[in-house]
C-alpha cells in the first residue's frame, strides 16, 4: 500500500478567497482536504520593507502524484504576486493515505463528475 502523500502550505489574506481556493481544489480532485487555520499574523520582508499582514493558512492534503499539479494550479489562481507554496512530502496512516489517494484519483473524480452531471 502506498502511504505517501503531500502537504502543500500556502497563505492568503482573505477568508472568502481562502474558502474559494480550498473548495475549488477539493471539487476538482486535486486535494482530498484543505484545512484553513484561524487568522494569524505574518511578518515578512517585501520590496525592501518589513511588512505585517493578517493571513489565513491553508494546509492542502493530496497524493504525491498530484503535487506538481497543485503547485501549477496555485501559481495560476493565487492572487499574490509570489504565493507561498511549500511542499512537504510524508507518510500517513494507511487508511488516511488510502482515502487521500482515492479522493485525488482522476478516475474517481471522473466517475463523480459523471454521476453529478
How do residues 19-56 score in pLDDT, each as one tens digit? 999 999 999 999 999 999 999 999 999 999 999 999 99
The answer to pTM > 0.85 is yes
Domain locations in the chain as residue ranges: 4-106
Strand partners, 20: none
Count CB neighbours of 9 within 10 A.
13
Structure confidence at residue 68 (pLDDT): 96
CA gap 73, 50 in Å, rounded: 28
Q: For domain 4-106, is the CATH number 3.50.50.60?
A: no
pLDDT at 70 over 50: yes
Q: How confident is the model at residue 8 (pLDDT cuts 50, 70, 90)?
A: very high
Amino acid at each position: 500500500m502506498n502511504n505517501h502523500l503531500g502537504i502543500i502550505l500556502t497563505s492568503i489574506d482573505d477568508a472568502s478567497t481562502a474558502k474559494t481556493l480550498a473548495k475549488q481544489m477539493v471539487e476538482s480532485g486535486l486535494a482530498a482536504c484543505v484545512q484553513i487555520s484561524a487568522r494569524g499574523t505574518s511578518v515578512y520582508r517585501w520590496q525592501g520593507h518589513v511588512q505585517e499582514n493578517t493571513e489565513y493558512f491553508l494546509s492542502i492534503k493530496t497524493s504525491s502524484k498530484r503535487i506538481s499539479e497543485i503547485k501549477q494550479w496555485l501559481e495560476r489562481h493565487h492572487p499574490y504576486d509570489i504565493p507561498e507554496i511549500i511542499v512537504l512530502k510524508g507518510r500517513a496512516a494507511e487508511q488516511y493515505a488510502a482515502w487521500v489517494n482515492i479522493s485525488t484519483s482522476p478516475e474517481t473524480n471522473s466517475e463523480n463528475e459523471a454521476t453529478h452531471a
